[in-house]
Amino acid sequence: MKSYNLTHLKELEAEAIYVLREVAAQFENPALLFSGGKDSIVVSHLARKAFFPARIPFPLVHIDTGHNFPETIEFRDRYVEKIGAKLIVGSVQQSIDEGKVVEEKGFNASRNALQTVTLLDTIETHKFDACIGGARRDEEKARAKERFFSHRDEFGQWDPKNQRPELWNLYNGRHQMGENFRVFPISNWTEMDIWQYILAEGIELPSLYFAHEREIFMRDGVPLAAVDVIPRRDTEVVEKKVVRFRTIGDMTCTGAVFSPADSLEGIIEEVASSRVTERGTRADDKRSEAAMEDRKKQGYF
């Protein structure tokens, strides 16, 4: 009798697809948070598999800071058209124009934290009762506390000490009017799992992930993109270097890494030997020891 064994990637895929189908079964109006980064691209790829041959039965939601990399926006629009999904865009610039948030000033100003208000407004406007995200437990310690089905109160806030038990694969999505859930189908994946899965499935990614020549300048030991939305000090010199990005977020807080890796195989080799964490170049995580957890309690991704 032929034995049947799943590889670890197929086990993770099966778990994620199960979670996605649970969302479709338990919630009336879910959405998939899509940043144009590798994790949300993998989640959308898994969603396509989960509901094939039908299209993804919920919209993709992108919170646009207005300071996203142009390559991310170009990829987002092309990808959404390719898979035939519905795209909803929440605009941080609109939140600023409406006076709901105040833009930071100074050399280290960022719109990253302002996304929370725009995200909660978008959830409220469209009455989403579940938002599927691409967060993983190995990314950051606050994200390690998230359940697969992570409850948010009527204000969109997260209380890590007030979550429901998840026994085996039993997920409880019951909620009161105004409450919602964040759901993380790839919680158990590591960065290496993501890259190996992307290679195995032939998933397309934004060019930012691969080594390319770019104008950068150094700040606090991190190469930042030399773009108009990041003011520079007189001592910060712009130069052309070959870099790539391990994460993709707002340009003002997302640093690059010096790397020759211009292929998936090269990236996997680099990640395997890296001594720097995946989010080690993210300025938004360095504002305080509990920066991510504080943002998440307020309703961040």
User: Which pLDDT does position 277 carry in this prediction?
Assistant: 81
Backbone angles phi, psi at 30, to 5 degrees: -85, 165
Q: List pLDDT tens digits, range 80-138.
A: 999 999 999 999 999 999 999 999 999 889 998 899 999 999 999 999 999 999 999 99
As a whole number of Å, the CA-based R_g of the chain is 19
Question: Which tokens belong to 32?
Answer: 């998939």
Q: Cα–chain-centroid distance for residue 33? A: 8
Find out whether 108 and 114 touch, Cβ atoms under 8 Å: no
pTM score, two decimals?
0.93
**Average pLDDT of 170-198?**
95
User: Mapping DSSP to helix (H, G, I), strand (E, B) and coil, where does residue 292 land?
Assistant: helix
Give 223-231's long-range contacts (Cβ < 8 A, gap of 24+): 223/255, 223/256, 223/257, 223/258, 223/281, 224/251, 224/255, 224/256, 225/69, 225/251, 225/254, 225/256, 227/251, 229/67, 231/106, 231/107, 231/109
Q: List pLDDT tens digits, range 235-272.
A: 999 999 999 999 998 999 899 999 999 999 999 999 99
For residues 141 and 56, give the distance between their C-alpha atoms in angstroms, rounded to a whole number: 30
Residue 61 CB partners (closer than 8 Å, separation 6+): 31, 32, 33, 34, 87, 88, 89, 90, 122, 126, 128, 131
